[in-house]
Structure 1
């Protein structure tokens, strides 16, 4: 025979477990909502490949960069950024690391000043990635870019993925690997 005290003991043991389950359900629901909303916004803001894209560009040092040729060898990351972009100050070191790890990366500095100003900025931050100086923002506009940073993965001269915002190194490596597999 159980007493009232025993029943209270049983209820008090169930309540913490129920609270944890309820908390986990709530956290899972909010995480799922975040992923859905983040994905939708990212899809909406991603760059769009122009019908006739200019894939032969010249970097700030006068060297020709052929994005189509690079992307035929292996998937290539194109990174749109700006020296004035506060978020880019967090993402550019990741891009520099990716380039240092021998991943094909071409960056396009949007409205970031003269070639000399871009050179000084890259030198000051010790960035060694390839940089195209899009002084007027025309390249970015051709790709219908809305925000910096933005990224495009090119394979065989075609855009396979587009994304925006802060991306961790592992995510960029995974995207390049997936582009090479599929």
Structure 2
């Protein structure tokens, strides 16, 4: 006859090293699952090149912007955003910094962000100096089948090489632009 104490199998205590390895494995597994899900959602939500994309646009100040010509020498980042978008308030300063570095052409498209005067006021208030197209009705964004803001498109030779959404750190955007220039 066995007692309750004897019937319970005692598990050996894990050493601190085994506990640490277990925690690291768990974090890596959850990180991998997160990255797979994030990548799938990003791929699903990314803008799509229209059949006949309008690449000659006019910025809110009346200047012609030719995305095909800009993307001939270097990849061009097209950033879809809105003055009303809370996430864009986080990403737009990064885009402004990237544009100021002048390593790659940056063109932004402000979606449903008011009149040209309202957009100008917003850009001045936030000290944004990037080239901006005012997509007052959201037609350009709709043409690219945009689903969320912020969204990004990288063009090379007038063709979309990458599309992405959400918060993107500066290093990620620079890496993607560089990769588009190499491949």
TM normalised by structure 2 equals 0.92
Q: CA deviation at 1:21?
A: 0.9
In structure 2, the residue matched to 1:54 is 54
- 1:93-108 correspondence to structure 2 within 5 Å: 93-102=93-102, 103-108=104-109
Tell me, yes or no, if structure 1 residue 129 matches structure 2 residue 127. Answer: no
Counterpart Cα distance in 2 of 1:156 and 1:145: 21
Counterpart Cα distance in 1 of 2:164 and 2:73: 22
Counterpart Cα distance in 1 of 2:26 and 2:106: 40
In structure 1, the residue matched to 2:167 is 166
Tell me, yes or no, if structure 1 residue 138 matches structure 2 residue 132. Answer: no
Counterpart Cα distance in 1 of 2:62 and 2:132: 10
Tell me, yes or no, if structure 1 residue 89 matches structure 2 residue 89. Answer: yes
Counterpart Cα distance in 2 of 1:126 and 1:17: 51
Q: CA deviation at 1:17?
A: 1.3
In structure 2, the residue matched to 1:76 is 76
In structure 2, the residue matched to 1:148 is 149
Size of the aligned set, in residue pairs, is 171
Counterpart Cα distance in 1 of 2:113 and 2:21: 51
In structure 2, the residue matched to 1:117 is 118
Counterpart Cα distance in 2 of 1:150 and 1:110: 11
Residue ranges of structure 2 left out of the alignment (5+ in a row): 1-11
Residue ranges of structure 1 left out of the alignment (5+ in a row): 1-10
TM normalised by structure 1 equals 0.92
In structure 1, the residue matched to 2:7 is none
SS of the residue 1:166 aligns to = coil
In structure 2, the residue matched to 1:36 is 36
Counterpart Cα distance in 2 of 1:116 and 1:124: 12
SS of the residue 1:144 aligns to = coil
Counterpart Cα distance in 1 of 2:21 and 2:80: 43
CA RMSD of aligned residues (A): 0.9
Q: Hey, which bits of structure 1, 4+ residues long, moved more than 2 A?
A: none
Q: CA deviation at 1:18?
A: 1.1
Deviations 1:20-40 (A, max 9, x none): 111111000000001000000
Deviations 1:154-176 (A, max 9, x none): 00000000000000000000000
Counterpart Cα distance in 2 of 1:112 and 1:140: 12
